[in-house]
Amino acid sequence: MTDTTAPATRVALVTGGSGGIGRAVVERLARDGIAVGVHYAGNKARAEETVAAVTAAGGRAIAVGGDVADEHAMAEAFDAVEREFGGIDVVVHTAGVMLLSPVTTLDLDELDRMHRTNIRGTFVVSQQAARRVRGGGAIINFSTSVTRLHFPSYGAYAASKGAVEALTPILARELRGRNVTVNAVAPGPTATPLLLEGKDQAAIDRLSQAAPLERLGTPEDIAETVAFLAGPARWINGQILYANGGAA
């Protein structure tokens, strides 16, 4: 007898899903048939544009808002995705803040802002994900290859992402027996507004030469790595994947 029951739709929540790498991740997961919650912090219109692009291509998506460092707001965002799609299988935490300055001149208010989003925000989202992601699912955090590349002026940012790299494998071990993988992606220089803003062409050219492939990464390059971890990569767990074209 043939089983005609349709497989359940997999569901993802992508924080920071309205632009840059986050939007590329949303669109890539949607192409794999995953229903997506597109999270935004402040730009609802851009999130709704991303949702419209997904639905126009035949996918399913909704926009959900909230400060990633606010546990109540993120609980509501997770709740909204679960109400709409019936559960959550994949959480991709791309949301982050990058403020650059030499250590000697960094405004400590900027340090606090960055750590609130990048450290507390990652912890809050990981905590919600650990409580909710269904068996067979994946939690994917975001770090940076600057933790290895050691670019000047990135000290505070890299320090905040070092915390993400410490948290990720520990959470993987804490979820023993749940059949949920926990990994982090650490992009190298990637052509997003976050990277390109304020840089002249000479600086961009130098960054382009960091990898043996002699180009900047693209959001789509990073999204392919996420799709791998979200889908077939069931034996990769507790790892930091440096998606940087061989730069480090």
Report domain extents, the chain.
11-191+219-242
Out of 40, 154, 157, 242, which one is annotated catalytic? 157
DSSP 61-127: EEEEE--TT-HHHHHHHHHHHHHHHS--SEEEE---------GGG--HHHHHHHHIIIIIHHHHHHH
pLDDT of residue 7: 52
Report the topology of domain 11-191+219-242. Rossmann fold (3.40.50)
**pTM of the prediction?**
0.94
Q: Is 165 left (phi over 0), alpha (psi -120 to 50) or beta?
A: alpha
Decide if 40 is catalytic. no
Helix axes 121-132, 71-85, angle to 10 degrees: 40
Compute mean pLDDT per 10 residues along the chain, 248 residues long, and list them: 58 95 98 98 95 98 98 98 98 95 97 97 98 98 95 95 98 98 95 77 85 92 98 97 91
